[in-house]
């Protein structure tokens, strides 16, 4: 929902900026707004991927390590 509001807001701002500069510039303002939308979506996607990789690294580091038993350890095991 947050992205949708950002996209609509950027499109409206792009249209208004285009109209304020020149009526024909609305066709320039909207593509600029779309580029800004692409940047926002790309940043959020990269942040999401970074969080996913962080969780994977944490899970791998928390995994139990294999340990070899010494003859003394084997004697005490039941």
Whether the per-residue pLDDT at 78 is higher than 70: the answer is no
Q: Is residue 20 part of a domain?
A: yes
Asked if residues 40 and 3 have their Cβ atoms less than 8 Å apart, the reply is: yes
Range of the domain at 23: 2-60
Structure token digits, residue 62: 């928390």
**With a threshold of 0.85, does the pTM exceed it?**
no
Whether the per-residue pLDDT at 17 is higher than 80: the answer is no
Looking at the 3D structure of the chain, how many domains does it have? 1
Whether the per-residue pLDDT at 16 is higher than 70: the answer is yes
Q: Is residue 69 part of a domain?
A: no
Tell me which residue of 30, 7, 5 sits closest to 17, measured CA to CA: 30
Structure token digits, residue 72: 């003394």
Q: Is residue 21 part of a domain?
A: yes
Residue 70 CB partners (closer than 8 Å, separation 6+): none
Q: Is residue 6 part of a domain?
A: yes
Task: Say which residue, 27 or 41, is predicted with more confidence.
Answer: 41
Specify the pLDDT at position 55.
Answer: 95
Q: Is residue 11 part of a domain?
A: yes
Structure token digits, residue 7: 């996209």
Q: Is residue 9 part of a domain?
A: yes
Q: Is residue 70 part of a domain?
A: no
Whether the per-residue pLDDT at 3 is higher than 90: the answer is no
Structure token digits, residue 41: 């979506």
Q: Is residue 18 part of a domain?
A: yes
């Amino acid at each position: 929902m947050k992205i949708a509001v950002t996209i609509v807001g950027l499109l409206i701002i792009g249209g208004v900026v285009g109209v304020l500069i020149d009526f024909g510039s609305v066709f320039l303002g909207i593509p600029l707004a779309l580029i800004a939308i692409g940047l926002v979506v790309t940043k959020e996607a990269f942040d999401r991927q970074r969080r996913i990789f962080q969780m994977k690294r944490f899970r791998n580091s928390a995994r139990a390590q294999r340990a070899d038993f010494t003859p003394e350890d084997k004697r005490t095991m039941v």
